[in-house]
Structure 1
Amino acid sequence: MDYKALFTAVPAACVVLDRDLRIVTLNEAYTEVTGRTAAELAGTDFFEAYPPDPDEPTSQGAEAQRQGLELALRTGRQNMLLLHRFAIPNPNRPGEFEPRWWNVTNRPIIGPEGRVELIVHRIDDVTAFVRWEREGVEPVADGEQVKAPRAELFTRARELQEANARLQEMTSRTRDLALTLQQAMLATPDLADHPEIAVRYRPALRELNACGDWYDVVDLPGGRLGLTVGDVVGHGVDAASVMGMLRSALSAAMRVADGPSGALETLGLYARAQKGAMATTTFACQVYPASRLLMYSNAGHLPPVLMRADGSYVFLDGATDPPLGVRFEHVPRPQATVEYRRGDTLVMYTDGLVERRTEDIDVGLDRLVGAMRGMRGLPPEELADGLLAEMANPDGQQDDVSLMVTRL
């Protein structure tokens, strides 16, 4: 299908903006409504193409447009402006502005890295409706005019617009608060001393910026290093609060327990007493630099990948046990060890990185191995960014992702 031709022919007036709010393209319907062509507007800043009307310095039209577009960039969610007054340059009379009333829809387009890359800015011109309302007459089929005052309808539409704006602002503030909460709970003080480790977190697109995935780095006596990653069932602030409790408890347990299995045993007992913590998956390991050993234990989590410098690899799946709290009776957790060589790379992750609804999990794991092999020579920070880009779901990120890349 020729999507360019399809976009050009769409009857709704649409202009596409990039992250800097510069005009990328527009369709024929947009040209018909505004009198502005693609040749004239492409590459232009939206608010340079549509500057404020100097004769109406108190007009808030442009500011409302900017707020709607910036809200779409921040939240990744569609928003609307109903019966929005926005004066535009008159294409037939340079220097003059023409008042228009539009219903505006800002639809964000999410890129492979999970952020907004484009915005489809659609307008429905309702200028004729507003003028009829103000004049109190409306043309009818037989050419006559009848009185049609619709002040109640007009007022109701404005009330809906104001309510929609308040709801959008509340949603934006809630997302910002949730993101701040998530960042605070994922704070990893010991990470600052380890440039060989890179961490990333990406929230699910459909949720607030707070979810149940975590990573952690713990410095241990004798030069050892503790690494953990986990995933609480569910999304949103409730899952994030449970995640914060479990992550803190595991961080403490890693410091005092006899190995990763002991830490997970302690965490499992703690999870039984916490609402929402059941069935959490987590992986814990300790790095022994002197002997070049990785000791690990897995509570129902997907296996990390140890990628050798020569391109061979090992899944750390030798000590896998059920998720936290699902057994009726306490059973000691298994533990395994694997040797590593300098230059090897350990990648720990949560299921959002590899799972897609339409395919078997093994396909996602194979994709991860292939991506790691192709980028294994990159520094950890670059490798982490590369994996997120390579593993991105083309249908949009359906689950949150925590990722930890460690160069051993």
Structure 2
Amino acid sequence: MREPRIDYAAVFRALPGMVALLTPDLVYVDANEDFLRLAGRTREQLLGRYMFDVFPENPNDAAAAGMRETQASMLRVVETAERDTMALLRYDIEDRARPGHWVEHFWSPVNAPVLGPDGDVVLIVHRVEEVTELIRARGGTGSDSNRARVLEAELYTRSRELQDVNERLRRAHAHDREVALALQAAMLPAPTLVGHHRAAVRYRPAVGTLNVCGDWYDLVDLPGDRIAVAVGDVVGHGLRAAGVMGQLRSALSAAARVADGPARAVEALGLYARHVDGAESSTVVKIFIDWATHTLTYSSAGHPPPALLDPDGTVTFLDRATDPPLGARPEHVPRPQASASFAEGATLVLYTDGLIERRHEDIDVGLARLTDSLVRHGQSDPEALADALLADLLPPTGTTDDTALVVLRL
């Protein structure tokens, strides 16, 4: 039987959803029919032209960042030869029929590399999901309502993308250690979004069984000289816990980009967690760091308190905004939020309970060990301090709980 001849150009143009091909210099070489239709451009207006000449930033919106974020994502693809999934973004488009009139759009983009024989990136596949109508369908015109609509669409997009990952995790063989650790590493990458501020992250798996659990960390750039940092812990072990961890981490990362503070971000995560099987009783702490005001704003859902080491050696635990874990209350209530100032050169340490808690021992004993280690090694750079904390606080034979750790020099 002869194999059918496939016209791949025709297949590309008929693909459902918006898909375009660009060179590493971000020049359009092709676009499918849905891309042309939803972007409001003809093939002649697109092909052979630089992406941001066709779609410039809205000059009437001083806060617009769609062009910068899209360009940064595509350049990461060219540099790393790896797929880059972007957070939901607003990117307005000028109406060709009415010059000077900009139409609001919300997009969920993914950029992926096409490699040549030598392994270099020769094309970028730019796939975009148009989610503007999803946001508009929720109604509302106030700023809080707009943030809520953006947040809901963002969480929807992230949860949809992670459903496939979670399902594959559930089907993975329970004793395939190498696969489990590879998945864990993929969901907890090294931080790349902390600007010029020095940070170190560590993850140590539990001893025994599958060696993969539900501890996680996340760092997110925010507008201005600000970042959001979080650590969290999902109850349980194994691939199921890792799958839930991936969903919560992505959801909170999305919430931090549109919420007006850590409490609102944790509230949104709590609402989302109610619909994720296995997320009940998960803990998390979220901190917004503002270098312009030297302020830490934080909110905790049942998580051990972060430690702030001042340059003079004083250790303070951020424990003034602690609430029960996610899903612990039968009804949703607002989360607490507190702030603390910090001095230049201070060190912030976030961690999960595997670092400090031991069976048959009061948690205060573990916090005292952490304090002592911070005082002794506090002048070290973040990488050295992270290693010292693990060496001091984790037993040489390992623990039955995994440990996530973030050390950030302020």
Which category of TM-score, normalised to the shorter sequence, fits these structures?
A: 0.5 to 0.7
Structure 1 residues 8-407: aligned runs within 5 Å: 174-188=176-190, 190-191=192-193, 193-194=195-196, 196-394=198-396, 396-407=398-409
Gaps of 5+ in 1: 1-169
Instruction: Look at both structures and tell me which one has the larger radius of gyration over its CA atoms.
Output: 1
Q: Count matched residues.
A: 239
User: What one-letter code is carried by the residue in structure 2 that aligns with 1:235?
Assistant: H
User: What one-letter code is carried by the residue in structure 2 that aligns with 1:300?
Assistant: G
| Change beyond 3 A, Cα 1:276–1:171 | closer
- Rounded Cα–Cα distance in structure 2 between residues aligned with 1:335 and 1:172: 39
- Rounded Cα–Cα distance in structure 1 between residues aligned with 2:182 and 2:194: 19
Q: Is the 8 A contact 1:300 1:320 kept in 2?
A: yes
1:251-308 Cα offsets, whole Å, 9 max, x none, are 0000001100000000000000000000000000100100000000000000010011
- Rounded Cα–Cα distance in structure 2 between residues aligned with 1:365 and 1:193: 30
Q: Is the 8 A contact 2:296 2:342 kept in 1?
A: yes
User: What one-letter code is carried by the residue in structure 1 that aligns with 2:293?
Assistant: S
| Change beyond 3 A, Cα 1:174–1:191 | farther
User: What one-letter code is carried by the residue in structure 2 that aligns with 1:284?
Assistant: K
User: What one-letter code is carried by the residue in structure 2 that aligns with 1:274?
Assistant: V
State the SS of the aligned residue for 2:176. Answer: helix
TM-score computed with the length of structure 2 as normaliser: 0.56
| Change beyond 3 A, Cα 1:194–1:351 | farther
Residue 195 of structure 1 deviates from its aligned partner by: 5.3
User: What one-letter code is carried by the residue in structure 1 that aligns with 2:281?
Assistant: A
Gaps of 5+ in 2: 1-171
Q: Is the 8 A contact 2:175 2:210 kept in 1?
A: no
Q: Is the 8 A contact 2:263 2:299 kept in 1?
A: yes
Q: Is the 8 A contact 1:191 1:197 kept in 2?
A: no
State the SS of the aligned residue for 1:217. Answer: strand
Q: Is the 8 A contact 1:196 1:406 kept in 2?
A: yes
Q: Is the 8 A contact 1:304 1:349 kept in 2?
A: yes
Residue 189 of structure 1 deviates from its aligned partner by: 5.2
User: What one-letter code is carried by the residue in structure 2 that aligns with 1:373?
Assistant: V
Q: Is the 8 A contact 1:190 1:219 kept in 2?
A: no
- Rounded Cα–Cα distance in structure 2 between residues aligned with 1:197 and 1:229: 14
Residue 181 of structure 1 deviates from its aligned partner by: 0.3
- Rounded Cα–Cα distance in structure 1 between residues aligned with 2:186 and 2:393: 26
TM-score computed with the length of structure 1 as normaliser: 0.57
